[in-house]
Amino acid sequence: METKIIRIRQLELSDTSQLAALANNKNIWDNLRDYFPHPYTQNDAKFFIELSGKQKPTHNFAVEFNGELCGVVGLVAQKDVYKKTAEIGYWIGEGFWGKGIASEAVRLLTAYGFSVLGFVRIFSGVFEYNIASMKVLEKSGFKKEAIFKDAIYKNGKIYNEHRYYLLNREHAV
Region 3-31: mean pLDDT is 97
Mean of the per-residue pLDDT values for the chain? Answer: 96
Domains contained in the chain, CATH given: 6-167 (3.40.630.30)
Q: Is 25 helix (H, G, I), strand (E, B) or coil?
A: coil
Per-residue pLDDT tens digits for 48-71: 999 999 999 999 999 999 999 999
Residues 6 or more apart whose Cβ sits within 8 Å of residue 94: 22, 25, 27, 28
CA separation for the pair 25, 5 (Å, rounded) = 24
**Is 172 a residue whose pLDDT tops 60?**
no
Q: What percent of the chain has pLDDT over 70?
A: 98
Q: Output 154-157 pairs: Cβ under 8 A, ≥24 positions apart.
A: 154/30, 154/34, 154/127, 155/30
CA separation for the pair 133, 120 (Å, rounded) = 22
Q: Is 164 helix (H, G, I), strand (E, B) or coil?
A: strand
pLDDT of residue 171: 67
Per-residue pLDDT tens digits for 65-113: 999 999 999 999 999 999 999 999 999 999 999 999 999 999 999 999 9
Supply φ then ψ for residue 110, to 5 degrees: -65, -45
pLDDT of residue 170: 73
71 in Cβ contact with 105 (< 8 Å): yes
Q: What percent of the chain has pLDDT over 90?
A: 95
